Structure 1
Amino acid sequence: MKGWHKHAVSLRAGLAALLALSLVGCASPVSRVETWDGNPEAATNAATLKTPGEIRVTRVNGRTTGNFLMNDLALDYALLPGENEVVFVYKTIWAKSGVVRNEESKVHVIESKPQEARFEAIAGETYRFEFKQPDSRQEAERMMPEFSATIVSSAGDSVASSTEWNPAEASRVARTPIPESPSEGASANDVNALDQLKAVWATASDEEKKAFLRWAFE
């Protein structure tokens, strides 16, 4: 029995170690989220936007970001150099005091309306969010109607302040950055037109896609 018990303990320890390694392996690919389609040349020196657990990025340049199992993950988002539009939500959780009834949530969830921030990302630069941290649930609730976050550079300079997101406005102007036009004297064949079309298509609205297809097949 002692030998069996020792074997069982060793087996549990081995499984725990394997699970820990698996979790690390699963977490590493999503710690940095790419925000473009294809393999644009500018991606080799992309900028980085670091987000804390309270910030959940939902769209970048009109492109929906992935849904993750845990909403409070601190993630890094890779941005192509140039103008970027980031849509996000701020969410904070507070434990309820007193008795909680059956099937009732044990926490208060305080969430902002979707916010957008637009800024010019510099190749290789790192950006982060800054916002006021509430000291209580009541203060968090008071903050939400006028919530705004600032995006700052690695030097601490403010590059953008968020405002309430307007989906109608975003569908007209948000686009994933597209590679620059060929330099003077370069052949038009040197430009990957397919990548450009993919970048625009990924961020087009349903009506824009329908209009394009009607034009293409006329």
Structure 2
Amino acid sequence: MGIKQASLSKPAFGRSIKRVSHSLFASVLVIALAGCASSMTRVETWEGEPEAASQAATLKAPGDIKVTQVNGRNMSNFLMDDLALDYALLPGENEVVFTHKTIWAKSGVVENGESKVHVYLSEPQVVRFNAEQDEVYRFRFPEPKSRAEAEQMAETFMATVVTEDGQAVADSKSWTPQQASDRTPIPASRAVDSADDSALDRLKAVWATATEAEKKAFLRWAFE
């Protein structure tokens, strides 16, 4: 008795190959996303490739803390708001500017076009501390238990940076953009005889510490 060989029609064979391809693509995509997930949520706060980068400390920021600047460098929005991120800090003195936001659902009927939530955003805060190499830090602050507490806390918010074992490192203070420009002196070596050049140096120093919104507002004004 002869042995019958299994046969597969061309359409069925094509569907099988397509299913395998889709499954393989999905598996590769999952692996790729898993592999880059940690790097997507860890933000380097420096430019270039400093030698101390391999010994960087980590500052963990929960979703309700949004870091806007580190050492005068603006931090971009990553993926979406309210995303917990880790910030890699070079060892030594660091300055971190941030805000705190809480969201509370509105009770009752919401009119068309009206937001369904209450959003309470603190004024910008700044914390300065000496980061130790390979150390892990996090923000510690009270959690509001009601909407009334959240509203009040937005006006008086303050956070403490602590180590992994809970040891306090530094308390935050109110921050304004003017503070950054005041702390950015023009080096004496760049002083020039021309008043126009001195003004240009000052503009460059202020531009380096301006927020993205401030830069856009200035450019709109300059080209009107």
TM-score after normalising by structure 2: 0.69
Partner of 1:195: none
How far did 1:205 drift?
Answer: 6.9
* Structure having the higher Rg: 2
User: What is the alpha-carbon distance in structure 1 between the residues aligned to residue 62 and residue 184 of structure 2?
Assistant: 24
Q: CA deviation digits over 1:94-150, x for unaligned, max 9? A: 111111122221111111011100001011111000000000111111112211000
1:9 Cα deviation after fit: 10
Report which structure shows greater RCO (CA 8 Å, sep ≥6). Answer: 1
Match of 2:98 in 1: 88
Aligned counterpart, 2:130: 120
Query: Residue 142 of structure 2 aligns to which amino acid in structure 1?
Result: K
Letter in 1 for 2:92: G
Aligned partners of 1:55 and 1:88 also within 8 Å: yes
Aligned ranges for residues 204-215 of structure 1 at < 5 Å? 206-208=203-205
Deviates more, 1:29-38 or 1:100-109: 100-109
Task: Name the stretch that deviates more: 37-46 or 12-21.
Answer: 12-21
Inter-CA distance 91–14: structure 2 relative to 1 (3 Å threshold): farther
Per the normalisation by structure 1, the TM-score is 0.71
Identity of aligned residues (%): 56
Please, which runs of 5 or more residues in structure 2 have no aligned partner?
A: 1-11, 186-200, 208-224
Superposition pairs of residues 166-205 of structure 1, within 5 angstroms = 166-173=176-183
After TM superposition, the structure 1 = structure 2 runs for residues 1-218 of structure 1, keeping only pairs within 5 Å, are 20-21=30-31, 23-25=33-35, 27-173=37-183, 206-208=203-205
Aligned to 1:193: none
Deviating 4+ runs (over 4 angstroms): 7-23
3-state DSSP of counterpart to 1:152: strand
- Structure 1 residue runs of 5 or longer lacking an equivalent are 176-203, 211-218
d(CA) in 2 for partners of 1:60, 1:205: 21
Q: Is the 8 A contact 2:55 2:133 kept in 1?
A: yes
Q: CA RMSD in A?
A: 2.8
Q: Kindly state the Cα deviation for residue 208 of structure 1 after the two structures are TM-superposed.
A: 2.7
- Give the secondary structure class of the aligned counterpart of 2:111: coil
Q: What's the offset of the Cα at 1:209?
A: 7.7
